[in-house]
Amino acid sequence: MKKFIVSALAVVAAGVGLAAGVPAGGQASALSKEPAGKAAYLCDEATGAVVYAKNETQRLPIASMCKIMTLLLSFEAVEDGRLSYGEQITVSGRASGMGGSQVFLGEGLTYTAEQLMKSVAVCSANDSCVALAERIAGSEEGFIAAMNARAKELGAENTLFANCTGLPKDPQYSCAKDVSVMLRELLRHKKYFEFSKVWLEDFAHPDGRITSMTNTNKLVRFYPGCDGGKTGFTNEAGFCLAATAKRDDTRLIAVVIGAESSKIRNASVSSMFDEAFATYETHTYLEAGTPLEQRAIVQGGKEKDVAIAPETSLKAFSKRGEQQNCTVDITIREALKAPVAKGECVGTATLYCDGVEVGRTNIVTLEAANRFGWWDAYRDLAHNWS
């Protein structure tokens, strides 16, 4: 194994998943103005570092914010090859009959998976949620089981889903921290941002009808840097919002549950973002997909070495002005044996700040290396002989 050390002195966070000087949770406030609502949570997207938490594990109804999980499972189905964006999905009578927020899907009509996913992300369409659930899992009940299983995998211990829409049904609950975890996972799917940033768009039905979609997350239009999230409202849950915003290298996730009005929830999330962006910053030490100076040596291949890069970015998050010593420790397997596939894991990179590990990622190949065979040897011999 070969090791390379990259050193840097910069503003970074000490500790794993927790910005320096920031409380891990509970009622203690790290903000000058406490957000409204029954519960709130604010964290860094890249590291999970907690900036603020209030009643973050209290089990509460979250209304349509549960569609974060519905979207996550839909994107993962595409990623796994079980669904494609262009696939035509026929809408059942049950899906078309859903109440609440909807795009008025026609029973028996077909729509692409991308249309349905976009309508969930933009205008919180309940009918599209059920149509996707029935396609992916065979029934909404099967999809709900998958939602709960995925929540458990993500460590969302205070979450239980009873449907894929968030319409009132007992028992069903989540918490501010779990919502942030689910949204953070959803944000890994870059296609999501193509949907979440839409403010106003027409939804075309195959029978010629048009439904106008307006984003339920008003911050997408009115808060600088906000490009995603999910609203929710029922009488039981109150006004809820999970949103993300990015400035420079810093992306934040904020959650408010149980505010008294949409205006109050939007103002609370905006205030949380304002103070966090003013107080904290992010430094990127390795960028996902950017080739490293080092190359991986290949034995028995047509290529002697291959380009390599980090699979995900390595970042550190902290209060502005705090200087700590950071190093990136890169370990690469020596003498890879051909064939080597593109995207193959060949090592790891670990970010340390003041000797404490704050991030880790795989190092993967950016190109393939085929085995050097007898025909290649014959060709080289013929070339050299001539």
Does the pLDDT at position 57 exceed 50? yes
* Identity of the residue numbered 255: V
| Alpha carbon distance 130, 144 (integer Å) | 10
Q: Spell out the residues 6+ positions from residue 279 whose beta carbon is closer than 8 angstroms to its own.
A: 319, 320
The band of 6, judged by pLDDT with boundaries at 50, 70 and 90, is: low
- Residue 20: predicted pLDDT: 34
Catalytic-labelled residue, pool 92, 101, 119, 124 = 124
Higher pLDDT, 380 or 323: 323
Smallest CA-to-CA distance from 120 within 29, 55, 215 is with: 215
The band of 379, judged by pLDDT with boundaries at 50, 70 and 90, is: low
Q: What is the CA radius of gyration of the chain?
A: 24
Higher pLDDT, 296 or 383: 296
The model's pLDDT over 106-142, given as tens digits with 9 standing for 90+, comes to 999 999 999 999 999 999 999 999 999 999 999 999 9
Catalytic residue check, 262: no
Smallest CA-to-CA distance from 61 within 189, 176, 222, 181 is with: 176
Catalytic-labelled residue, pool 67, 118, 218, 315 = 67
The band of 321, judged by pLDDT with boundaries at 50, 70 and 90, is: confident
The model's pLDDT over 270-280, given as tens digits with 9 standing for 90+, comes to 999 999 999 99
Which tokens go with 276? 């966090």
The band of 7, judged by pLDDT with boundaries at 50, 70 and 90, is: very low
| Alpha carbon distance 180, 50 (integer Å) | 11
Contact 37, 257 (CB under 8 A): yes
Which tokens go with 98? 């859903």
- Residue 174: predicted pLDDT: 98
CA 154 to each of CA 21, 43, 69, 72, 288: distance values in angstroms, whole numbers, following the listed order: 26, 16, 11, 12, 22
Contact 179, 53 (CB under 8 A): no
Higher pLDDT, 19 or 230: 230
| Alpha carbon distance 269, 238 (integer Å) | 15
Report all structural domains of the chain as residue ranges with CATH numbers, in order of start.
Answer: 2-14+287-365 (2.60.410.10), 39-281 (3.40.710.10)
Show the 3-state SS of 24-56: CCCCCCCCCCCCCCCEEEEEECCCCCEEEEECC
Catalytic residue check, 196: no
Q: 15-24, 157-166, 205-214 — which is least confidently predicted? A: 15-24
Q: What is the mean pLDDT of the chain?
A: 90
What is the separation of C-alpha 125 from the centre of its chain, rounded to a whole number of angstroms? 20
- Residue 301: predicted pLDDT: 83
| Alpha carbon distance 190, 365 (integer Å) | 21
CB-CB neighbours of 330 under 10 Å: 23
| Alpha carbon distance 134, 206 (integer Å) | 20
- Residue 50: predicted pLDDT: 95
Catalytic residue check, 96: no
The model's pLDDT over 322-361, given as tens digits with 9 standing for 90+, comes to 887 899 999 998 878 899 999 999 999 999 988 899 899 9
- Residue 386: predicted pLDDT: 54
- Residue 2: predicted pLDDT: 59
Smallest CA-to-CA distance from 220 within 257, 245, 254 is with: 245
The band of 385, judged by pLDDT with boundaries at 50, 70 and 90, is: low
Q: At what angle do helices 67-79 and 176-186 cross, to 10 degrees?
A: 30
* Identity of the residue numbered 22: V
Contact 315, 16 (CB under 8 A): no
